Amino acid sequence: MLFFPVAVAYAADAAPAGPSGIMSFAPLVFLFVIFYFLLIRPQQKRSKDHKEMLTKVAVNDNIVTSGGIHGRVTAVQEDTVTAEIADKIRVKVSKGAITARKTQGDS
């Protein structure tokens, strides 16, 4: 009769070898590819489209800010936009806070 810890030690030696080094990294590479196409790439595209939209903001465009304020652009500076939100009420808004833009020709 074998002493229990000795029997466990013999059983551990008889275990088959694990997968090779390259095969153990394959699932990690697969997960990274999935994360890239499902999370990273769409976020980069959204960011690029937003920056492009901000460069195209012009006078008389209707905008919506991240705070939900709707207004019409009356002046455009380098980092800010002056928007008229009601008759004779104008506010300065950072360009980064603009979330949507609609030109006068759009319906």
CA angle 14/16/17 to nearest 5° reads 125
Percentage of the chain modeled with pLDDT above 70: 79
Domain residue extents for the chain: 1-55, 58-107
Please give the CATH architecture assigned to the domain spanning 58-107: Roll (2.30)
* pLDDT for residue 3: 54
pLDDT band per the 50, 70, 90 thresholds, residue 89: very high
Q: What is the pTM of this model?
A: 0.68
Summarised one tens digit per residue, pLDDT across range 63-79 is: 999 999 999 999 999 99
Please report the pLDDT score of residue 26 as a whole number: 87
Task: Give 4-37 pLDDT, tens digit per residue.
Answer: 555 555 555 555 555 677 788 888 999 999 999 9
Rounded to whole angstroms, what are the CA distances from 51 to 45, 73, 78, 88? Answer: 10, 17, 13, 29
Least confident of 10-14, 37-41, 43-47: 10-14
* Exposure letters 56-93 (e unless 16+ CB within 10 A, then b): ebeeebebbbeeeeebbbeeeeeeebbbeeeeeeeeeb
